[in-house]
Each structure stands twice: as structure tokens, then as C-alpha cells.
């Protein structure tokens, strides 16, 4: 699986959009980008995933650059409850390798 690079921490003001970047410059054509978050020591929560088109659901939007070397997770109106560690993962869609490796993620702190 391609490695990802995320900033260790970010701050965001409550009510503003939070834009979390992820670099995956070695991504290959059949690798999906997944985003999860973990609030304190709770079980991580799936947010969204995509291959090459931008995706949106009730939680967030995922913007993937045209060359697919990076992506941005957007929380449109961050709240205090969005304070969490956010993980960006890329994973091949086929083959026999079903490992899913989490990195260190980005600690997003939403401030009042």
C-alpha cells in the first residue's frame, strides 16, 4: 500500500471549515483513499473513501487531486465534537493483500 503523509496537528475555529491534507505521492491507479477519525480512545469511525472523483456524504467531503497524489478531507462546519485524530489511508482495491495500515494521523483541535 502507498504510504501517506499527514501533518501531526492542526487547529480550526468552531463553525469554520476544517481542511485536512494528506499526501500520497506514490499512490497507484487501483488504490483507494480512506479517511477515519478517532475521538480520544473510542473505536475509530469510518468517514469517507474515494478513488479519483470527489466524494461527499453527510459527514464530510473528499477532494482528490487530478494526479491523485494528494487529497483533502473537508469538514464544512467544524464543531467541538469534531476534535479527534484523523487518519488517511490508501489501499489497493484488488490482489490478495488485505492489510489496512493506519499511520499516526492528524490531531485536529476545534477551538471555541
Partner 1 sequence: EAQVTQNPRYLITVTGKKLTVTCSQNMNHEYMSWYRQDPGLGLRQIYYSMNVEVTDKGDVPEGYKVSRKEKRNFPLILESPSPNQTSLYFCASSFLRDNLLGGYTFGSGTRLTVV
**Which residues are at the interface with partner 1 (CB under 8 A)?**
32, 34, 36, 41-49, 87, 91, 93-95, 98-105
Contacts of 96 by beta carbon, 8 Å cutoff, 6+ apart: none
Least distance from C-beta 31 to partner 1, angstroms?
Answer: 11
Least distance from C-beta 72 to partner 1, angstroms?
Answer: 18
E strands of 18-111, at which residues?
18-23, 31-38, 45-50, 55-56, 61-64, 70-75, 84-92, 106-111
Nearer to partner 1, 83 or 105 (CB): 105
Least distance from C-beta 32 to partner 1, angstroms?
Answer: 8
Nearer to partner 1, 43 or 112 (CB): 43
Least distance from C-beta 6 to partner 1, angstroms?
Answer: 11
Nearer to partner 1, 96 or 112 (CB): 96
Nearer to partner 1, 36 or 73 (CB): 36
Q: Round to whole Å and give the CA distance between 85 and 104.
A: 8
Tell me if 47 sits within 8 A of 60, measured CB to CB: yes
Tell me if 50 sits within 8 A of 62, measured CB to CB: yes
Amino acid at each position: 500500500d502507498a504510504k501517506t503523509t499527514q501533518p501531526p496537528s492542526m487547529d480550526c475555529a468552531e463553525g469554520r471549515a476544517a481542511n485536512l491534507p494528506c499526501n500520497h505521492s506514490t499512490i497507484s491507479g487501483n488504490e483507494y483513499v480512506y479517511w477515519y477519525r478517532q475521538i480520544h480512545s473510542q473505536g475509530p469511525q469510518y468517514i469517507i473513501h474515494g478513488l479519483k472523483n470527489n466524494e461527499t456524504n453527510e459527514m464530510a467531503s473528499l477532494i482528490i487531486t487530478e494526479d491523485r497524489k494528494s487529497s483533502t478531507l473537508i469538514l464544512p462546519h467544524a464543531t467541538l465534537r469534531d476534535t479527534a485524530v484523523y487518519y488517511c489511508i490508501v489501499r489497493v482495491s484488488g490482489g490478495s493483500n488485505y492489510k489496512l495500515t493506519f499511520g499516526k494521523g492528524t490531531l485536529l483541535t476545534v477551538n471555541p
